[in-house]
Chains A and B, each alone.
Chain A
Amino acid sequence: MYRQARYDTRTVFELGGGSDPCVRLKKDLEDAVPDGMMRKGLCLPEVPERDVVMHYVNLSQRNFSVDNGLYPLGSCTMKYNPKFADILASMPSVTSIHPYQDDDTVQGALRLMHRLEQALCAISDMDAVTLQPAAGAHGEFTGMLIAKAYHKANGQDRTEVVIPDSAHGTNPASAAMAGFGVLEIPSNPDGCVDIEALKNAVSHKTAAFMITNPNTLGIFEDQIREIADIVHDSGALLYYDGANFNAILGMTSPGKMNFDIMHFNLHKTFATPHGGGGPGAGPVGVREHLTKFLPVPRVVERDGKYRLDYDRPDSIGKVRAFHGNFAVLVRAYAYILRHGADGLSEISQAAVLNSNYLKSKLTGEFDLPYRTLRKHEFVISARRQAKDRKVKALDIAKRLLDYGYMAPTIYFPSLVEEALMIEPTETETKETLDRFADTLIQISREDPEVVHAAPSNTSVGRVDELFAARNLILTWKDYLAIEKEEKGSR
């Protein structure tokens, strides 16, 4: 059994001894601020550094991370991040450079970006890469803007993006953000793209078809060339969601599969820690015919010197300020250097082996919809457990926490009833996978009452999400207001 730390749940606002944290500002520099613009007071907590550090260290111990244990979060690729990359990214030569420095003073940083772009081209078989997007979804948005610019340059008004119903939610959201109408098509009984549905959906209005391969069920869409032909014949572009790239690294590539645009999730595929939700990095790769639309600046090499080239008339412009999440790029580049051509293929081989091994240990106890061979992840169904024992995917997920595992992604994709989406990644050993499988099977057979009561070993018990949505306590001030109201009514 696992036991997470249980410290008190005070916020930093309550650490100052309960006195009013508001500080009245001193007026000594009043002549430095226009009339009426001087702030009167500042209500930030005033806490000694020792207590602040103790507070956040205690909080960290109430948080689960990859370094604590298995994090089998399907669709998110939570693998171990080697520490040397973090150390490199915290060197002053990374942290203390300003993006507007003269190119001559940052030749090393520009060279690193250029080499990373080239490596990503080699890995993906794309012709050019921009490192600017800050996250995978931001890369999708960038890709959609490029698709828009491309069709516009060809004098075409294409207004729709087609997306399978199994896609990540970011795909339709990104397409809509770029102003496209979204047409979702159903999957076929194998969990793959329904070719007939695709044929019926694409038209002269289609700007792009967005998919990930392997898809969110972990199944490789083996009719991808046919899909590409259908999309291209209609004049549309084929977009690759790189979220699952970890599964095919070195085995095939978006370029080989005939994709036109793709994004990388550097934090997933090239192992940079996720930071509790970010930062990430979502570089976008394109084929030759789309290169001129990439965001500015582009890193170019001229006469042995690296330059940031802003002079690109067809570019879509910028998608964020400056050049991208450089500290994440450094980590990804270090990771690529470490593994090299030989090691990168082994990553996906090990990830796929781990996934299929774990899947084989769980089928039987759980239903496995669709065909059996999987790539990096697989989705099992707890429908039998839900029907026979009233133990739902959510209950199983919560019970797993008690055993010291992050829960798999649940209820996604929606095609699978009571879905548990599991991605073990390449960095886990057979022993870890065996223990995890045993635990899941044990939970499936455990007294349903115990499972329903889970989790009980985490720092808090089952959290009331409905209460949060109804009461909307989003800041400390909201809390104080509600507390005051409650006291008043008592």
Chain B
Amino acid sequence: MTIDGRMLKELGIGDVEALFADIPKDIRKDRFDLPDGLDEREVVRAIREMLSADLNSEKAPCFLGAGIYDHFIPAAVKSIVMRSEFITAYTPYEAEISQGMLHSMFEYQSLVSELTGMDVVNSSNYDASTALGEAATMCHRILPKKRFLIPEAMSWEKKSVLRNYLRGPGLEAVEYGYDPYTGGLDPVSLAEKMDDNVCGVYAEVPNFFGTIDPAVMRLKEMFPSVPVVIGVDPISLGLLTPPGEYGADIVIGEGQSLGSPMNFGGPLLGIFACRKEHVRKMPGRLIGMTRDNAGERAFCMTLQTREQHIRRSKATSNICTNEALMAVAAAVYLSVVGPKGLEAIAKANISNARNLMTRIDELPGFDAPAFKAYHFNEFVVRTSVRPEKLNKHLARKGIIGGLDLGRHIPRMNEHMLFATTEMHSEEDHDKLIAALREVA
């Protein structure tokens, strides 16, 4: 930046320092403990070099999942979301000049509504874990009780985030167990935890073990008066019955799969959907269709009286900056792949997982899948080799290995979670199998 002397002159001051006369001397900062600036070429080189030795899924097939997946992103999606008009805009407060963003977000809401079978979708939470936190507090607004039921078979990170969101209203997360044979929810354990103090129940499909658990479809029937929250992988909905059809009150999910890269964990896209009767209790931004003064179709933000900039401490959430661009990416992604494309991608994930688990199971020292159930794109492998050692070996072979499950569910320290997607070729699977054979 350069200081424009013409402006100083017009202001009648000799030095820009005069504009900081209101900052008392004793709190002035004199120097930074930072190097001086670099030119653009130097910055690009420095950061390229810093990151160049890292392993990434373009260099090595990645078998990690657990909430973030290496899916294919059509070039058209990247091209659209990189457009200046989308990427450098702000929240569309002035509707008339921001129709592009508003219209795209309305389409995102509509597309995800179709996908989940829900009436209303907000235009994004940060990620699935914070969406779950907001879903639990929303359940409490619907049914003011104090306990929220969650599966034991869940990412510990998600549990931790949830507990932080529950601190405000003073709610408690109570875990119900899973069936040790199928990995699905254990209805006996769930029934035991269910009582008059429960404000909501949460289940995932596919669940943390990658299994497609049909028991989720009976939740609403089992507990008709308790809000049911279902966590989804949106790609799987290219093939699976949407939660809206089996009575879910709220659907959340990680939308990264829909056209956003893994990005070392962010930005992600928190999907948040609910039934229309609860719309005023929902967090986040909503875009509505309306008309302009000539009667022409237009879009604007709506129901803002729920939001922090109007309702302040009484708002349904504090969300301001969200993940709008990722929502646009998801809209473009779903439009580009279309219904047949999404179905094909979902099927490719299922059949790739089937192939890989069958091949791993054939290896001595490995048992896959550890749970006898239907799987989407990931599955648990029981291994006689320590997961950490195994992953180090795989990394040396140019493979990004699976997840050490013991970090999430302590008694599963001999288990790993492997994910595969449409990105993996037969050769990628061959490579993994060969490397696993070496350590077995």
Contacts and interface: CB of A to CB of B under 8 A. Distances in A.
Contact of A141 (B31, B119, B318, B322): B318
Contacts of B325: 275-279
A9 B28 CA distance: 53
B197 interface: no
Given A37-B241, A338-B37, A60 B43 contact: no
Given A98-B400, A274-B321, A337-B38, A92 B350 contact: no
Contact of B19 (A106, A325, A349): A349
A267 B323 CA distance: 12
A253 B208 CA distance: 44
B96 A455 contact: yes
A179 B263 contact: no
- From A23, A88, A177, A248, residue with most partner B Cβ within 10 Å: A177
A321 B157 contact: yes
A486 interface: no
B413 interface: no
A44 B50 contact: no
Contacts of A401: 94, 96-97
B298 A349 contact: no
Given A107-B54, A278-B325, A323 B309 contact: no
B85 A177 contact: no
Interface residues of A, number: 194
A61 B85 contact: yes
A145 interface: yes
B354 to A, nearest CB: 7
Contacts of A464: 290-293, 298
Interface string B253-270: 000000001111111100
A257 B317 contact: no
Contact of A322 (B59, B124, B261, B266): B266
Interface residues of B, number: 189
Contacts of B266: 99, 134, 279, 320, 322-328
Contact of A398 (B86, B96, B291, B332): B96
A134 to B, nearest CB: 4
Interface string B48-65: 101111111111001010
B288 A474 contact: yes
Interface stretch (A76-84, A199-207, A229-237, A438-446): A76-84
Given A65-B86, A173-B317, A251 B29 contact: yes
A88 B44 CA distance: 7
Interface string A430-472: 1001000000000000000000000100111111110111011
B342 A42 contact: yes
Nearest to A454: B96
A404 B305 CA distance: 29
B17 to A, nearest CB: 8
Contacts of A256: 27-29
- From A32, A49, A175, A219, residue with most partner B Cβ within 10 Å: A32
- From B24, B110, B311, residue with most partner A Cβ within 10 Å: B110
Contact of A38 (B39, B50, B240): B240
Nearest to A359: B11
A473 B297 CA distance: 12
A191 B349 CA distance: 59
Nearest to B101: A276
B128 to A, nearest CB: 7
Contacts, number: 652
A336 interface: yes
B230 to A, nearest CB: 12
Interface stretch (B167-175, B188-196, B430-438): B167-175
Interface in B77-106: 78-80, 82-101, 103-106
A341 B31 contact: yes
A97 interface: yes
A426 interface: yes
Interface string B346-388: 0100110010000000000000000000100000000000000
B310 A94 contact: no
Contact of B168 (A177, A326, A342, A463): A177
B161 A57 contact: no
Contact of B94 (A56, A407, A412): A407
A460 B11 contact: no
Nearest to A88: B47
Interface in A56-81: 56-57, 59-68, 71, 73, 76, 78, 81
Contacts of A316: 164
A86 B29 CA distance: 30
A323 B164 contact: no
Interface string A333-348: 1101111111111110
A12 B128 CA distance: 26
A137 B214 contact: no
19 contacts: A9-B298, A44-B338, A66-B90, A67-B85, A94-B263, A95-B261, A111-B50, A173-B308, A176-B313, A276-B324, A277-B324, A318-B164, A319-B164, A321-B265, A346-B2, A350-B3, A459-B99, A474-B302, A476-B114
Q: Which 6 A-B pairs have the closest CB atoms?
A: A322-B265, A63-B100, A275-B325, A340-B37, A99-B265, A277-B324
